[in-house]
Amino acid sequence: MDELTLEKFEEAAEIVKQVTLETKLVYSEYFSAQTGNRVYFKPENMQYTGAYKVRGAYYKISTLSDEEKARGLITASAGNHAQGVAYAARLAGVKATVVMPTTTPLIKVNRTKGYGAQVVLEGDVFDEACAHAYRLAEEHGYTFVHPFDDLDVAAGQGSIAMEIIKELPTVDYILVPIGGGGLCTGVSTLAKLLNPKIKVIGVEPAGANCMQESLRQGKVVTLPGVNTIADGTAVKRPGEKLFPYIQEYVDDIITIDDNELIVAFLDMVENHKMIVENSGLLTVAALKHIQAEKKKIVSILSGGNMDVITLSSIVQHGLIQRDRVFTVSVLLPDKPGELARVADLLAQEHGNIIKLEHNQFISINRNAAVELRITMEAFGTEHKNQIVAALTNAGYRPKLVKVKGTYSEM
């Protein structure tokens, strides 16, 4: 517990300035109004590599000997540490190999290759990729750079706390995403060294809460599996070297369901015009779980590397959750003019039709009823209810259709 000293953090903070962009705090009027606190974001999603991970990677490489660098580096990562190591290694003139899970978003794979690293895809989750990276390191003699369970890496990540406190000395809470615990270790340790009154809250996905479970049991434990859209924090086992620091300096752990991340993504896009990946959104979703008022809270947005397909899916699911896209089923006689009547009614209620599905085989008696499924845009829950009420009053007996991925079947 004596390795992460203030002097080490100060050294790391100076060194990482060579590769990081200045990420000034962003005040959020929207989330401040929502929570009754003064909310700021630390936008590490705006770093050159799209995430904070370059900090720890670059500082770690700076501590290696020439012999260790000459052997070449290897690491395992779900994406952001991969890019950090690849970029830092290129600047240092060192060869790097990165093992990534086969489920890693394509944008993270391509960018890692773009920084000059050799990429190996192995395993479904980080832990399997990491085990393969260790095997390759032993086989080829590479120098292993752990993505989180390394105190030099944690010191580099801790430079974020230095910047936060310099810019906002009176900060009350710092919210930190947790995967393996490197970022949270660095930030919480330095924050407490500088001001023990600052509360540091770790935030994990509910489907990958390895640190919360380890703290509950008082020892590092391995989850049987992980299931979360927050791929950057989908870790089954936290860092052994980091765990004592987390026990000592982290005030609480909050877990977040995937559905909360979807809503947080929409909020960030619409209110801050920011693309933040799911792991980075953990601290945004956690704002509503903080039992405090009139406090200065900083949420660390750890990264923004999200592929377009995932982005599109999250937007769609977010709109459905907010009742801004919904599907309703109505029954109507199979005769000319009925479809026009429904369309006219929806136009009067300002519902914007996205898709129509006309099923003539819902009933044997087509004169009695055919099914019309309408997917449409609304302004929100109140507007959706207004449209459904108008259909009910017109005698169509509407039923909301459960949308796959968000609701159960009708």
Dist. CA 164–CA 190, nearest whole Å: 11
Per the annotation, the verdict on 53 as an active-site residue is yes
Annotated catalytic residue, options 53, 108, 199, 241: 53
Q: How far apart are CA 1 and CA 289, in angstroms?
A: 30
- Residue 293 identity (one-letter amino acid): E
Token pair for 228? 């979360």
Q: Identify the bridge partners of residue 328 per DSSP, sorted by sequence position.
A: 374, 400
Residues ≥6 apart with Cβ < 8 Å to 93: none
The C-alpha atoms of residue 306 and residue 278 are separated, in whole angstroms, by 8
Catalytic residue (one of 77, 279, 299, 302): 302
Q: What is the 3-state secondary structure (H, E, C) of the chain?
A: CCCCCHHHHHHHHHHHCCCCCCCCCEEEHHHHHHHCCEEEEEEHHHCCCCECCHHHHHHHHHCCCHHHHHCCEEEECCCHHHHHHHHHHHHHCCCEEEEECCCCCHHHHHHHHHCCCEEEECCCCHHHHHHHHHHHHHHHCCEECCCCCCHHHHHHHCHHHHHHHHHCCCCCEEEEECCCCHHHHHHHHHHHHHCCCCEEEEEEEHHHCHHHHHHHHCCCCCCCCCCCCCHHHCCCCCCCCCHHHHHHHCCEEEEECHHHHHHHHHHHHHHHCCCCCCCCCHHHHHHHHCCCCCCEEEEEECECCCCHHHHHHHHHHHHHHCCCEEEEEEEECCCCCHHHHHHHHHHHCCCEEEEEEEECCCCCCCCCCEEEEEEEECCCHHHHHHHHHHHHHCCCCCEECCCCCCCCCC
Q: Are 292 and 61 in contact (CB under 8 A)?
A: no
Q: Is 188 a catalytic residue?
A: no
For 258, residues 6+ apart whose C-beta sits below 8 A from its C-beta are 205, 206, 207, 228, 229, 230, 278
Query: Which residues participate in catalysis according to the annotation?
Result: 53, 302
